Chain A
Amino acid sequence: MENVQNVPTQSKLFAKGDLLLIAIILITAFGFGFHIFSSNVGNGFKPFPTAVEIYLSNKLIKVLPLTQEGYYKMKYNNISFSVQIKSGKVRMQESNCPRKVCVHQGWIEHSGESIICVPNKVVIKIVGRERTLSVPKKDEVDAITF
C-alpha cells in the first residue's frame, strides 16, 4: 500500500487545504449574505423608491414618488382626473368618467396594485419594492397559516 499515492490516511479528519477552503467559503458566504441580516436598517437597501405610475391610453404620462404627498390634477383634452397621495397610499380623488368606479375603489398602497379607469383609459399603478418589506408596520399580519 505504500506505493499508492494520494490515498488519505484515517488519522486526521481534515487536511490543511480543507480548513483553508472552509474558512474562505464561510467568509465569502457571510460577506455576500451580510445584507440578509442587515436589510432592516434604513432604506438604503431599496433598488429604487416606490413610485406611482400614471398611464393614459397605454402611455406613461407621469411618475410620482409615493412619499410626495399632495393632490395632482391632470387634464388631457376631455379627460380630467385628480390623484391624491397621502401617507404612502394613493387614490383617484375625482374623475369625469360616468360611473366613478375608479374613485370608489379607494386607497391602494401595495406594490403591484392598480386603479383602472376604463372609460378614460387611465391606469394608476404602484411599482417598486414592497414598502412593508423594509419598514414593517405595526398591527399588520404578513400571513396566517393553520
Chain B
Amino acid sequence: MLLHSETKVEAYSDTSLRNSDQYILLISLLSALAIVLQIIESMIFPPQVIWFRIGLANCISIIAIYLVGLSGALYVVITRTILASIFLGTFLSPPFVISFLSGIASVISMGIAKNVFKNFFSPIGISIIGALSHNLTQIAVVVMMLGFSLELIRYLLPILMIGSLLAGFITGYVAKNVIIRIG
C-alpha cells in the first residue's frame, strides 16, 4: 500500500512534508474515491426521490482527516463536491451550494474535534459530529435561501439530528475499520 509500516500516519501534519509526492498522491486518490462514492450513492438514493442519504462520501472525509490532516481533508472535500457535481450535472445549482458549504463545515468541525479532543472521540464520534454539522449547515443554507420558517425547524431538526446519528454511526464504523487496517 501507499503507507509503509515505517511511515507515520500523522507525518503529513508537518508543513515540510506537504509538497511530497505521496501527500499529493494520497489527496488525489482520496478525492477520486470520494467522487465515485458520491456518484454511486446518488444512484442508489436518487435525490429527487429520497431526501435522506447516509453520506458515504463523508467516510472518505474522515479517513482523509486521519491520513492527511485537516487541510488535506479540505482539499479532498472541495475537489469532491465540485467534480462530483460537474459529473452529476448539478454544478452551481442549489443542491451543489448546499453540499459544498455543508461539506466544508463538516470537515472543519471534524478536524477541530479531532485536533482539540485528541483521543476523546473515536472515528465514530467524529463522524457523528461531521454528520450533525453537515445537517445543521444544510438547514442554515436552506433558511438563507428560502427564508426562516418555524415549522421547518420544529419538525425537521429532531428528525435530522436522529438521522445524522444513524448516518454518522454507519460512516464512522466503516471509516474506523479502514483506518485500523491501513493506518
A7 at the interface (CB under 8 A from B): yes
A41 at the interface (CB under 8 A from B): no
Contacts of B122 in A (CB 8 A): 8, 12-15, 17-18
Instruction: Write the B42-67 contact mask toward A (1 if CB under 8 angstroms, else 0).
Output: 00000000000000000000000010
User: Could you tell me how many residues of chain A have their Cβ less than 8 Å away from some Cβ of chain B?
Assistant: 28
- How far apart sit A47 and B164, CA to CA, in the bound complex (Å)? 29
Contacts of B132 in A (CB 8 A): 25
- How far apart sit A6 and B62, CA to CA, in the bound complex (Å)? 13
A4 at the interface (CB under 8 A from B): yes
Instruction: Write the B118-160 contact mask toward A (1 if CB under 8 angstroms, else 0).
Output: 1111111100110010000000000000000010001101110
Contacts of B124 in A (CB 8 A): 13-15, 18
Contacts of B164 in A (CB 8 A): 25
- How far apart sit A29 and B154, CA to CA, in the bound complex (Å)? 10
Within the complex, the shortest CB–CB distance from B63 to chain A, in Å, comes to: 12
Contacts of A32 in B (CB 8 A): 154, 157-158, 161
**Given contact pairs A4-B9, A8-B180, A32-B154, A21 touches B121 in the complex (Cβ within 8 A):** yes
A1 at the interface (CB under 8 A from B): yes
Cβ < 8 Å to B, chain A residues 7-49: 7-10, 12-18, 21-22, 25-26, 28-30, 32-33, 35-36, 47
A-B CB pair tally, cutoff 8 Å: 81
**Given contact pairs A8-B176, A8-B180, A14-B122, A21 touches B128 in the complex (Cβ within 8 A):** yes
Cβ < 8 Å to B, chain A residues 35-67: 35-36, 47
Contacts of B179 in A (CB 8 A): 7-8
- How far apart sit A22 and B161, CA to CA, in the bound complex (Å)? 10
Contacts of A16 in B (CB 8 A): 120
B114 at the interface (CB under 8 A from A): yes
Contact of A29 with B119 in the complex, beta carbons under 8 Å: no
Of A9, A10, A18, most B-chain CB atoms within 10 Å: A18
A77 at the interface (CB under 8 A from B): no
Other-chain residue from A7, A17, A25 in contact with B161 (beta carbon distance below 8 A) = A25
Contacts of B8 in A (CB 8 A): 3-4
Contact of A33 with B180 in the complex, beta carbons under 8 Å: no
Interface residue ranges, A against B (CB under 8 Å): 1, 3-10, 12-18, 21-22, 25-26, 28-30, 32-33, 35-36, 47
6 tightest A-B CB contacts, nearest first: A33-B158, A18-B125, A17-B120, A29-B161, A15-B122, A17-B121
